[in-house]
Structure 1
């Protein structure tokens, strides 16, 4: 008996097609006819899954954050403190083909989010979630003796702002590289390690 294709699975396939077209052409040059062709459907068939281009763009934007968050969870696993924080940062920064594609989609759709309350809310919720995770990992790192007595919220905001900036430069700056991105994050975390009172020392990273 033929397998029934799940509705959500087909939506993801259409979102994948939208990602490819947005990355290659940009938002304005991506239309429903080309989306249908890229996804392997007729133009009319798309209406069974999305009401129109705007809903596809919203879903594409949301999926960037969902995919990143799922990857963070898998990568961090049972780690805590600085090792967990570094894992989180690596999954957000555009260091690989996968994360660079996500950055291209996010950067392309940020301008649209300025005037779309739903997309703005999706963006804010994702950043708030990652920022809260960073704060928790920094607190763990302080408790484990990996960093000094720093302002965890301030450092989390600094890391978040840096990673958003790295997504932009990763997309637009040909000189951006995984090594340079890692160096910037290390510079921030080295500052946290240096914030120890006299006589106190860091533990070796796990």
Structure 2
């Protein structure tokens, strides 16, 4: 009797291998042969689970974004306003080892997204959703008197740009951005 194969588990194992290689080598250092070896499969076996390297990279990036969104949901919970906005920012910023690793993976894939419309769409959809949620929480904070009244859409643009910039700094100069410094930048933008 043939052994049952858990298709989703194998896909997750391949994505995890892609994460490790992306974090260690960047997108240009990932090839199908090394990816298969890292995942513990033959090169040909990967084609049973993904159409090719581009699909694996998109799945790896989606996994990064899904992990971030899961942390945001868990952290924000029922909070609203300023507390929700700050908690959301803390999950996007590279404040912990896990989020710094995710920043390395995301930054590596941004380069590819410049020429891969599907990857760019994955990124832009996630950022648009974050910005929409940030605008909602920021407006809640304004309405509750927790932060000064401001141009909420413009302020959210500044905030998201700062969060992405913190990810870049964490990757390129890991020792320069302390947790306290990153949190202080966000609080300065929020006016608290």
TM over 0.5: yes
Given that 1:82 and 1:137 are in contact with CA atoms closer than 8 Å, whether structure 2 keeps it comes out as yes
Residue-by-residue CA offset, 1:88-136 (whole Å, 9 max, x unaligned): 0011001111101110011001011011111111111000000001000
Structure 1 residues 84 and 5, CA gap change in structure 2 (3 angstroms): farther
Given that 1:32 and 1:53 are in contact with CA atoms closer than 8 Å, whether structure 2 keeps it comes out as yes
Counterpart residue number, 1:175? 176
Taking the TM superposition and a 5 Å limit, the aligned residue runs for 1:34-113 are 34-113=34-113
Partners in 2 of 1:105 and 1:187 — Cα distance? 28
How many residue pairs match? The answer is 189
Counterpart residue number, 1:131? 131
More displaced stretch, 51-60 vs 82-91: 51-60
**1:6 Cα offset (Å):** 3.4
**1:64 Cα offset (Å):** 1.4
Partners in 1 of 2:50 and 2:17 — Cα distance? 13
Instruction: Structure 2 unaligned segments of length 5 or more: list them.
Output: none
Instruction: Structure 1 unaligned segments of length 5 or more: list them.
Output: 194-206
Question: Segments of 4+ in structure 1 off by > 6 A?
Answer: none
Query: Higher helix share goes to which structure?
Result: 2
Partners in 1 of 2:30 and 2:171 — Cα distance? 19
TM-score of the superposition, structure 1-length normalised?
A: 0.87
Given that 2:27 and 2:108 are in contact with CA atoms closer than 8 Å, whether structure 1 keeps it comes out as yes
TM-score of the superposition, structure 2-length normalised?
A: 0.93
Partners in 2 of 1:166 and 1:78 — Cα distance? 26
Looking at CA atoms only, which structure, 1 or 2, has the larger radius of gyration?
1
RMSD across aligned positions (CA)? 1.4
Partners in 2 of 1:54 and 1:134 — Cα distance? 30
**1:5 Cα offset (Å):** 5.2
Partners in 1 of 2:9 and 2:135 — Cα distance? 34
Given that 1:36 and 1:46 are in contact with CA atoms closer than 8 Å, whether structure 2 keeps it comes out as yes
Partners in 1 of 2:46 and 2:77 — Cα distance? 37
Structure 1 residues 5 and 85, CA gap change in structure 2 (3 angstroms): farther
**1:63 Cα offset (Å):** 1.6
